Amino acid sequence: MRILVVEDDRKVASFIRKGLTEDGYAVDVASDGETGLAMGLDRLHDVIVLDVMLPGKPGFQVVRELRQAKVATPVLLLTARDAVEDKVQGLDAGADDYLTKPFAFAELLARVRALLRRGTAARAPVLQVADLTLDPATRTVARGGEAISLTNREFALLEYLMRNAGRVLTRTTIAEHVWDYSFDSGTNVIDVYVNYLRKKIDAGRERKLIHTVRGVGYVLKAD
């Protein structure tokens, strides 16, 4: 899952990014409203965490323009203002949830998970390729009915491969969607994680699902 954090306070943005990354999410950060809007319009993200008080363009305006552009990505607003009128204004602009600063990171994480559950429920409750299944809501994976334990990053990589089953994905594309904008796709980290997945998904099985396309990248397919 990929999350966009739009926050002009560097310390707060770094705090949120660090926590979300440690929990296995790919995180992109924008420090002003204009940049946040541009990144939100690319529809690459599963949730947007959006500060209300931003330079360039306020958060209320950002979410309003996202909705006008038919971007349905769930938005969690962050603000130091806790007046009911402010919350109503944010929700009426198109936000899905509202969190007042200061906040406990555990609460922000729980709200993000709730928004992700709504999104995944709307897209596809369970992903399946051959006898491999992945449930985004419960974060469980099984092959042939046998449960498979994955790390957060392995899960994110497998989910992206399964959502694009049959499509050849380049290392750059994988890096942009499973890691973040600043990830160095020139490293071999992606290959390492694909090998981790192969050991858990394909090892000891006659039917292999994860395939290498030489000079291009990887594809997950049933044949």
Categorize the per-residue pLDDT at 109 as very low, low, confident or very high, splitting at 50, 70 and 90: very high
- Residues 194-200 have a mean pLDDT of 95
pLDDT at 181 over 70: no
Categorize the per-residue pLDDT at 207 as very low, low, confident or very high, splitting at 50, 70 and 90: very high
Does residue 85 contact residue 60 with C-beta atoms inside 8 Å?
A: no
CA distance 221 to 202: 12
Per-residue confidence (pLDDT) for residue 110, from 0 to 100: 92
pLDDT at 119 over 70: no
Non-local (6+) Cβ contacts of 212 within 8 A are 194, 218
Sole residue written with tokens 């936000």: 95
CA distance 97 to 59: 13
Length of the chain as a residue count: 223
pLDDT, one tens digit per residue, over 64-75 is: 999 999 888 999
pLDDT above 70: percentage of residues in the chain = 93
CA distance 35 to 31: 7
- CA 74 distance to own-chain centroid: 11
Non-local (6+) Cβ contacts of 100 within 8 A are 78, 79, 80, 81, 82
Non-local (6+) Cβ contacts of 64 within 8 A are 93, 94
pLDDT, one tens digit per residue, over 16-61 is: 999 998 888 888 999 999 999 999 988 778 899 999 999 989 999 9
- pTM higher than the cut 0.85: no
- Residues 124-151 have a mean pLDDT of 88
Sole residue written with tokens 């420090």: 31
Sole residue written with tokens 């541009």: 38
